[in-house]
Amino acid sequence: EIVMTQSPATLSVSPGERATLSCRATESVSSNLAWYQQKPGQAPRLLIYGASIRATGVPARFSGSGSGTEFTLSISSLQSEDSAVYYCQQYKNWPPWTFGQGTKVEIK
Amino acid sequence: QVQLQESGPELVKPSETLSLTCSVSGYSINSGYYWVWIRQPPGKGLEWIASIYHTRSTYFNPSLKSRLTVSVDTSKNQFSLKLTSVTAADTAVYYCAREVDYCSGDNCYPGGNFDPWGQGTLVTVSS
């Protein structure tokens, strides 16, 4: 089973600043990496797949990068509505598909 | 617009069977995609449970496989989950979602991207 590790656990960023979230896999997942956003009391929402492809309707301030074992989700100019927990997920080797433990993004 | 809605008992006793159904609207299950169950214990992360195709091809999380049954009812455009011998560790919000598929010849496989999701239902295991 591939283990996904996210850092930091919590990120506090001022509005308008850049947020950078990291995700690491215990073995290569190539570009088979997705990012999800989960706001309090809501279901997760797909943001990024294929490591860097934005899902339909996702604002351009969200971008993903990386391949192999190291990945990054960047939010270029943080908005108040971006306060959420962000999860990475690998879909290279299954079963099972596996998620990271999440990074909570807070607005300063 | 595709929408998914989970339904089922909110409280299950230990050692009994958890049963949930996901109703899909705005898209025919027969038309493709895998359909998936994912859960999230309170305050914790996400765990993929199982994926099923309209042909009834199914993939399970090995950690849960021995207790799982997943089925699809194309006539009702629904799919279902049964988890037997539940314990408090099975207390979670259970989500259903659509999963992209990829096909090679006549065979289609889970693609690992989940979109959209149902709103989720909290199932508590307690006596």
Q: What was the pLDDT predicted at B110?
A: 87
**Identity of the residue numbered B14:** P
pLDDT at A37: 98
Cα–Cα nearest to A11, from A64, A82, A63: A82
What mean pLDDT is predicted for residues B24-51?
Answer: 95
For residue A51, what is the nearest residue in chain B, using CA coordinates?
B113
Tens of pLDDT, residue by residue over A57-90, are: 999 999 999 999 999 999 999 999 999 999 999 9
Task: Give CA separation, B34 vs A1, A81, B11, B71, B116, in Å.
Answer: 21, 31, 28, 12, 12
Q: How many angstroms separate the CA of residue B22 from the nearest CA in chain A?
A: 14
Mean pLDDT of B120-127: 97
- Residue B54 confidence class, pLDDT cut points 50, 70, 90: confident
Minimum-distance CB partner of A94 among B45, B47, B59: B59
Alpha-carbon distance of B74 to B32, in angstroms, equals 11
Cis peptide upstream of residue B41 (ω within 30 degrees of 0): no
Q: How many CB pairs under 8 A join A and B?
A: 61
Cα gap B114→A53, rounded to integer Å = 14
